[in-house]
Structure 1
């Protein structure tokens, strides 16, 4: 069996892998075969053989597992679920089965912790100069989520992490396609945000930050449109005397330009969602 006391917690639910250096089935398997070969076993021997068969099976599956391969625990999990409750085991055998159960629990917790850790980094970043998408990555979170989903047992905590990770992966993927000066590029992000059900998922910090960013982009586009409406117009000059002695106002069209206004209007129309003020201005 693996050594008692292995699997020290590394913080935030993560554990160190158990020591497998003493794990073996060779000696037990040889003794088991020798007992099975005896022509007339007693009832005690029969019970011992049943317990040994179970331990050999569990150790064999345990030897094929890896703390870095979530799917490798499937056969062991199935064997534990199918374990006969009427097998008469010694206290030592019970302890070994319990240790195997504990190791599975700890490796599962470690996969959950990896998802939780990946959720805390890899999103958009905000600095005094504005939002940056250069920090966005989905690789680590996707890998951690794949491992969690591949593990044969799931907990309530794991299912919650799965939901959170799925939302954040969609959010980050949408954000990676968003460009501040390309209004239409924000449609995918709105689709993701609108699809998040009300409740705890909407209250996640990264979701709230995405809403903040997209609303800031919307407000900036509307401000740009309002600015364009107020500039590059005809300019009123000084009042001069006319030929008939009346006063005549002079106007200059030199400053008139439609380029900035046209661009601002196109951006406003292309943005997936505007305020009433922005719609009126466009």
Structure 2
């Protein structure tokens, strides 16, 4: 019944049938309205009948259009099912996912997602570059990895940024520290204590200092480290308190450390998936990103 058409023509037909509006259907398909019209016209030529009645206010299906709808839906369902079946077969044979990940996400959160992924696809290998925010962006831009997990990249014209979660900065200290008696801590409350932070080359430090400057606050840091994990080690040793993203803190109950929200101001970073604009990631990487998105949505 249907000749000289492709799956995009069928998806255009189904979107217009379901939405009843060229503008909304074109937006859903991420194409222009003229391109949508051409696809509908191509399908009508293949069928040999008009599928929609067009007026200035609405689009209504013809009798042929209504009759065609269940057939198109079944064809697309069968196509998508077959496509995913072939994709899963390939993924179960093996593959490689390459990513650049912030050390804060790589240390605590990422292993749990990889474990769940490998339970479903045990033959997929991972290459993880745990890099700073700037270095991670460069790795994605140069094509060294398929995608990155970062809090930078949203302003780049060459990269796509898919937001995943807001990651607030929190106070980390020993459980018996006086500030831990509060439900939340103001930045001004930290002035009397020795503070531990990462050095100025860190994107986290730049973000934090900029936000504090907008609130006319300047903190006096006593210890500076290169890595956030070192900051936590100094806190564990009782040398001071540290401000760091919540993702950099242990997920499970820690024997001696705990955290508190920091307010006045509240500062956070948006963690997301960064990829090269227009580039296609491999099926294993795409599936992992989908799993990452779903699990992070319910994280903490």
Higher helix share: 1
* Fold match by TM threshold 0.5: no
TM-score normalized by the length of structure 1: 0.22
Q: TM-score, normalised by structure 2?
A: 0.21
